[in-house]
A and B are shown apart, each in its own frame.
Chain A
């Protein structure tokens, strides 16, 4: 039954891993602005307008 020590240690280590990820996210300012990224993630397609067929992409967007 000593496997429980191992399992719990692993689970705690994983939890701590997520916790560190959270601390990092806060530190880099990801929680400072919770609105703009939600809008920004929808933009990526438009950046391709620079390629040869810009019309098509804009049309697709409007549909």
Chain B
């Protein structure tokens, strides 16, 4: 135990706050309590799997009172009966094997829980419990007390049980079953030995193969028929048309072959083709199931809120039931779900979800407060002006862009190619048919069908899924999570990049702090630091971290006045830290900046100014992007930072300030109307419209497990400077696809030359098909891995 890290959560221990318990060191009381709970219940194995796996439990007093309300809590349940109930809770903290272990042993911490099961990729725990013995609220409190606070939002309210779509797994299983068995049964035919017993059993083998191929043909491949039908109906020639055509022709021809005893048919190739194409589909669907790309306001908003009734009693009500004129009680750290008017004297509200700006805004009684802000500090009262769906923030979601079907938005590269491929293929087929019909009718039909079979763009259809699936994984390892494979294509097409300012190119974790005024002596600095320690205000925390380490002192008469500042007496001196108004200082210039003023024993000293801190590697990123892309910066803020920004950004970058969410959306739309392929990089909910409107919306997130607006890709903030690398890689991915298209076309040409001359034997088909598949798949995998390494 020589480390200075907390035994429970692994954070650095501040010497003075260190708590030693059971020979182990803890950073705070919360961590110690969790350890105590575990060791009392013989659950200390928790610490054996992973070093310091825990999280400090947060104070949740009163936060989950709404779970007492039967109608709300029942919405969360998956299943409910007299003595059994099942609930699925999403727990963002799940991250290691210790987490799985402790959460699956919940029944030993709480009577009434019969079992619990963790789904690690989804970061969810499914708890079966007895509602007569334990309430859901108790479970939530238990989870929170051991550092696994569940995340419950408005989203949970509507989806009790989500149905999982497993059809692709079924289809793949069916196709593999058919493919494998048919391959085995086809072996005698491959060798074409004219033995007596083989000839005798030929019909039996053939009919058996026919029967086994039916499920693959009718069930596994049905996605292709549907897609082909849809694309014909909409007049767009996509890749599924030649695929479906090839499959159907293959099946019909093979059936005729065995009915009239012409040959053994192509059932092996047919099922193999279906199997490999489904495999490609499966490979492409790499989903980051713990992330959500479809989030709207619902995943941010609380499920219930405290309403103050006319008789002054408090009651938890579902957010949707809030009416205009209701009075609401908002606690510390709660999100304001609707627009309203502040009734309490003052409040400080953190709009970082909405604007990305971390520094809270102070509101006074009678001010309008908007939905999406987080309340910091004391409990406040507010009166509702609009219901949830009519609030300023939620109205953004009624914009058309959110209704669009994303799949239909873009045409992908395979479809573009098949627009030429399909007509040419049909042309060749009919031309050779016309040629052979004058020579021999039977051969003519054979040739016609052979062409359609051989040209079935199996390899073509596999190229894109395997390349993109692979690149998707490579990017995912580097903390750049894409919604689906189509996004890679879009990334490669981008020519204009629009950045949001606050929270995107600036970080809201750090601020650069500077001091202006009479220099503070070392002693005074200690006083200031000690006073700041007592305050939970974000600015205090930032300034506290900024000031050098020092010894602890006792403070008395501490008082925090919301929206103004803090004051206390330390060592006989009276300190005031806060806004200019609070220290009775008249601000001479009205420059827009965030600052904290210091006054000690009635003497004004100076102020700390908080500037936005730009992300690391920002200027080098912009410099490298500048050559290939047009860069624009949008900001919801005033133009106070214009000159600083102009210095960082390359010349000619367009800067637009004071943009409202809808204006950002319009800005993107305008660029698109000019024919640009726009990539929007944003973070907060205020960018949600722009992210949805842009060709590709990337959301920057400090913590990918928590919040990000609906988008096409989520990028972890630390990896921001790699953006250009990701763009380059996506271009290389497209290049890989084009190269392998060329290879697969060669295979098609070889196959076609067999087919046109009327020599396509089942054996030839059975060789060409897997050979092309394997070479194509290995080619694209090797190439995309090579590019991922060489570009670095």
Once the chains are docked, how many angstroms separate the CA of A47 from the CA of B101? 10
Contact A50 B42, CB 8 Å, known A19-B177, A43-B101: yes
Tell me, yes or no, whether B173 is within 8 Å of chain A by CB.
yes
Contact at B120–A33, with CB atoms within 8 Å?
Answer: yes
Tell me, yes or no, whether A56 is within 8 Å of chain B by CB.
no
Tell which of B196-204, B309-317, B728-736 binds the partner: B196-204
Residues in A whose Cβ lies below 8 Å from that of B181: 12, 15
Contact at A40–B104, with CB atoms within 8 Å?
Answer: yes
Over the window 1-21 of chain A, the binary record of Cβ atoms lying under 8 Å from chain B Cβ atoms (1 yes, 0 no) is 100110010001001000100
Contact at B170–A36, with CB atoms within 8 Å?
Answer: no
**Size of the chain B interface, CB-CB below 8 angstroms:** 30
Contact at A58–B44, with CB atoms within 8 Å?
Answer: yes
Residues in B whose Cβ lies below 8 Å from that of A49: 42-43, 45
Contact at A61–B42, with CB atoms within 8 Å?
Answer: no
Contact at B177–A15, with CB atoms within 8 Å?
Answer: yes
Contact at A8–B45, with CB atoms within 8 Å?
Answer: no
Once the chains are docked, how many angstroms separate the CA of A11 from the CA of B173? 18
Once the chains are docked, how many angstroms separate the CA of A4 from the CA of B45? 58
Contact at A26–B122, with CB atoms within 8 Å?
Answer: no
Over the window 178-206 of chain B, the binary record of Cβ atoms lying under 8 Å from chain A Cβ atoms (1 yes, 0 no) is 00010001000000000001001100100
For residue A32, which residue of chain B has the nearest CB?
B164
Over the window 150-168 of chain B, the binary record of Cβ atoms lying under 8 Å from chain A Cβ atoms (1 yes, 0 no) is 0000000000000010100
Q: Within the complex, what minimum Cβ distance (angstroms) separates B256 from chain A?
A: 24
Tell me, yes or no, whether B690 is within 8 Å of chain A by CB.
no
Over the window 26-63 of chain A, the binary record of Cβ atoms lying under 8 Å from chain B Cβ atoms (1 yes, 0 no) is 11010111111001101100110110001000100110
Once the chains are docked, how many angstroms separate the CA of A42 from the CA of B50? 13
For residue A5, which residue of chain B has the nearest CB?
B204
Tell me, yes or no, whether B105 is within 8 Å of chain A by CB.
yes
Tell me, yes or no, whether B60 is within 8 Å of chain A by CB.
no
Contact at B120–A39, with CB atoms within 8 Å?
Answer: yes
Give me the interface of B with A, judged by CB distance under 8 Å.
42-45, 48, 97, 100-101, 104-105, 117-122, 164, 166, 169-170, 173-174, 177, 181, 185, 197, 200-201, 204, 208
**29 chain-A/chain-B pairs, Cβ below 8 angstroms:** A4-B197, A4-B201, A5-B204, A8-B185, A12-B208, A15-B181, A19-B173, A19-B174, A19-B177, A22-B173, A22-B177, A26-B170, A26-B173, A27-B166, A31-B169, A32-B119, A33-B119, A33-B120, A33-B121, A34-B121, A35-B120, A39-B120, A40-B100, A40-B118, A42-B97, A43-B101, A46-B48, A49-B45, A61-B48
Q: What 8 pairs across the A-B complex have the smallest Cβ distances?
A: A36-B120, A46-B45, A33-B119, A39-B97, A49-B42, A35-B120, A19-B177, A22-B173
Given pairs A35-B120, A49-B43, A58-B45, 7 additional interface contacts (CB within 8 A): A5-B204, A8-B185, A36-B100, A36-B120, A40-B104, A43-B104, A58-B44
